[in-house]
């Protein structure tokens, strides 16, 4: 028969698990009005955190409201007419602010000095977007050099994830998908909350003829040209891929 102290520890674990489960249920219920309004990547341990979902944004000379698909990669915010379609514009967030007296409204102040005014389906979704930006802002001091050193020291997988636009030979966007690089294993998914499927193993990358894009070469699949929403994201991917190729010992951590 278990000692009283052991029974108390086991009971504490059960309560903790139950509380964790209830918190998860509460979050799911909180955002159940439309599961497409805010999603966080199911890929953990990547250098950039990724979020996506729908918000209504004020556009045009008359400030017409239009529902669009947003992606947040680090502090890079992009907007497209719908998921899977090319991003129509991207910018780097300087800070995000909530509109006073309007709990569903957000203002994204960009480093370009522009302000994106958006409206969410509920205050809870607005708070989720606000918290995501604040979280990414807090990680700005954690650069890619530090990330690579941490992965090597702790022997953890080197992971990148991003929304990238696949281009054809003429530079036209074929589609925009969520890609994950785990060491040199390349995977892709139609959205960030779906487990990516393995595509192939990367054997090399090089600059593409199209601005903001790179060509990725694989073991068995034909090369792929991918365009990034921001030059900084492109730089990070080049750096990490070449580091993994030059340090094959990292494959053991994946």
Q: Are the C-beta atoms of residues 192 and 202 closer than 8 Å to each other?
A: no
| Sign of the dihedral defined by the CA atoms of residues 219, 224, 229, 232, in that order | positive
Kindly state the average pLDDT of the residues 77-106.
94
- With tokens 């003829």, the residue in question is 209
38-139 against 144-252: fold identical: yes
Q: What is the pLDDT of residues 45-84, one digit of tens each?
A: 999 999 999 999 988 778 789 999 999 999 999 999 998 8
- What pLDDT is attached to residue 35? 57
Residue 84 main-chain phi, psi, to 5 deg: 95, -15
- Two structure tokens written together for 74: 């680090």
Res. 26: pLDDT tops 80: no
> Which one has a higher pLDDT value, 8 or 138?
138
Mean pLDDT of the chain: 86
| Sign of the dihedral defined by the CA atoms of residues 181, 186, 191, 196, in that order | negative
In 3D space, the residue among 74, 62, 98, 77 whose CA is nearest the CA of residue 161 turns out to be 74
Q: Are the C-beta atoms of residues 42 and 192 closer than 8 Å to each other?
A: yes
Q: What is the pLDDT of residues 131-186, one digit of tens each?
A: 999 999 999 999 999 999 999 999 999 999 999 999 999 999 999 999 999 999 99
Asked which of 15-19, 217-221, 229-233 is least confident by mean pLDDT, the reply is 15-19
- Exposure of 160 in the CB half-sphere (CA atoms within 13 A): 25
The share of the chain scoring above pLDDT 90, in percent, equals 75
What CATH fold (topology level) applies to the domain 38-139? Answer: PH-domain like (2.30.29)
> Which one has a higher pLDDT value, 161 or 43?
161
Cα angle: 238, vertex 112, 180; to 5 degrees? 30
37 pLDDT band (50/70/90 cuts)?
Answer: confident
Q: Where are the domains of the chain?
A: 38-139, 144-252
Asked which of 16-20, 51-55, 117-121 is least confident by mean pLDDT, the reply is 16-20
Domain 144-252 bears CATH identifier 3.30.70.360: no
């Amino acid at each position: 028969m278990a000692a009283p102290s052991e029974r108390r520890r086991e009971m504490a674990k059960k309560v903790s698990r139950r509380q964790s489960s209830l918190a998860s249920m509460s979050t799911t219920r909180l955002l159940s009005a439309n599961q497409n309004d805010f999603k966080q990547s199911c890929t953990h341990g990547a250098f950039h955190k990724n979020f996506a979902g729908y918000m209504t944004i004020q556009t045009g000379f008359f400030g017409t409201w239009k529902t669009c698909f947003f992606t947040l990669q680090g502090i890079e915010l992009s907007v497209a007419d719908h998921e899977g379609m090319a991003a129509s514009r991207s910018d780097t967030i300087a800070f995000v602010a909530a509109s006073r007296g309007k709990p569903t409204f957000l203002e994204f102040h960009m480093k370009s000095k522009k302000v994106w005014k958006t409206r969410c389906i509920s205050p809870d979704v607005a708070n989720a977007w606000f918290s995501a930006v604040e979280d990414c802002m807090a990680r700005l001091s954690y650069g890619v050099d530090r990330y690579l050193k941490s992965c090597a020291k702790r022997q953890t997988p080197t992971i990148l994830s991003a929304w990238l636009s696949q281009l054809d030979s003429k530079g036209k966007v074929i589609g925009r998908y969520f890609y994950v690089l785990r060491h040199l294993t390349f995977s892709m998914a139609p959205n960030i909350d779906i487990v990516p499927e393995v595509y192939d193993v990367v054997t090399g990358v090089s600059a593409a003829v199209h601005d903001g894009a790179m060509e990725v070469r694989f073991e068995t699949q034909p090369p792929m040209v991918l365009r990034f929403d921001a030059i900084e994201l492109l730089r990070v991917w080049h750096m990490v891929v070449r580091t993994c190729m030059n340090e094959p010992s990292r494959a053991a951590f994946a």
